[in-house]
Amino acid sequence: MSVFTPPSLRFIKTAGLIGGTAAVGVSLPLIIGFSSAMLSSSNSLQGAILSAILFPAFLLAILRPKMLVAYTLLIWAVAPELRRIADWSEGVYHSVSLLSLAPLLTGVTLIIPLLKEIHNIQKSSTRIMLMFAVALGYGALIGLAKNGMGSVYDLASYIVPLLLLPYFAVTKFKPKDIDRLLTAFANIAVLVAIYGIIQYLTVPPWDVFWMKHADMMSIGNPYPLEIRVFSTLNSPGPAATFLAFALVPMILEKKWRGTLRWIGVLLVVICLLTTLVRAAWLILLVMLLMYIGTSPSKGKWKTLIQLVFVAAALFWVVPKLPGAEGLVARVETLSSVQEDHSYNERLSLWQNMLPMVAANPVGQGIGSVGQGTKLGNDGELGEYGIMDNGVIALLLTFGVLGAVFFFGALGAVVKQIFARVISRDQLQPYARLALATWTGAIVSLVSDNGFPGLKGYLIWMLIGLGLSAREITQSRRKGTPYAAVECKISPH
């Protein structure tokens, strides 16, 4: 007589989770598609594209969670361009589009693999997430009271990038998986750069349509060689940010350089130049110097030689580019920053806004600064829609209390990273890249608050990779199944 052994509770929960997420993954795109059919033709097109974007994300979240971050990166990079093409094909400009939600909704699918392995998360990661949760919870309460539904979108822009920290803490990434992700990042950046160069030379009609209707004439004229390149992103700022964060690992390590190797590096650098965003060059320089400064002596010389190679190539290539006069003039302003209009505006902003922040220690709440202000303002940016100082933006958003927890969480993050950097083992390059990213993010606060949205996604992705390597090492030392199954590290 056979004896029936009931399945374990953990098995039942896992099976239920997989079945539930599979049902959601199949049904949600169908619901979106059915709903879009009931809407206007314009919203129907946007809904259909959104459904087509989300369906692969759900499949990857269930079947190949390690590939999900690369796919989400691709959506962050191309969704704005898909939106422009959709508007152009209809002949109608939409100040608020369903396609604007595509990167955030795709990023939300990180919850699926995260919930499956949440029991593996360590206390150090939990403490960091709790500190961020207190800051975001406080900012959300104030934001809902003061800013209405605009705070919901802005809150999602903070939360979705932050999901990467617990995701990497519990997803079993081997070093080769991290290398694949960074290679995919490089390849996406090369595609963005190639389109950006084409945009600079030709300006496709859908980009012209968008510039005219979105009142983006501040980034130049919609004619070849007269435009500040934004490539497939929303504007030159996000495009430059994406390229700069990709360029750092591409320059630093051969295995992170992507399919085209040095040709890809030069393409990304050239496209970055055409955005004319100097803040991105500051982030790039800070990250490179931090990584090199924490490298072993042998590694420092190798990287410095590579930087000299890139600089020499640029010195030869840039003057030969079409429209090179404008590029050179923009770079030359770095030597006379006191006379620069943007620098003086940021200095004036700091002097004017700091007393206002001091007079309102409670804060304005999430949704008061940035793109979220469009939702409660008929598609137009609100009073603080453009805030060229990240520290002021965070203080204005979270107030004194929320800012204490937010900056405290940033301090806890760098403490973990630094402990990993000084360990000096085979996983150290990922930790050094995480430290370089953290430093670049803090320095970039002089120009904007980069923690929500695309920039936040890039920051927490590169930091999460470094902390993920640290989690692997700790698990291996404790002899847990996590390490026994996944951490067969090959020398490189």
Summarize pLDDT for 174-191 with one digit per residue, the tens: 888 999 999 999 999 999
Whole-number pLDDT of residue 74: 95
**Cα–Cα dist 82/332, whole Å:** 35
**Cα–Cα dist 303/47, whole Å:** 46
414 exposure class (CB count in 10 Å sphere: 0-12, 13-18, 19+): middle
Whole-number pLDDT of residue 366: 86
Domain boundaries, the chain: 8-116, 117-486
Which amino acid belongs to residue 272? L
- Output the pTM of the full model: 0.81
Whole-number pLDDT of residue 389: 77
Q: What token pair was written down for 100? A: 């604007």
Q: Which residues of the chain have pLDDT under 50?
A: 1-7, 9, 11-18, 20-26, 31, 35-36, 337-339, 473, 475-492
Whole-number pLDDT of residue 13: 46
What is the SS3 assignment for 310-338?
HHHHHHHHHHHCCCHHHHHHHHHHHHHHH
Summarize pLDDT for 420-450 with one digit per residue, the tens: 888 766 778 899 999 999 999 999 888 888 8
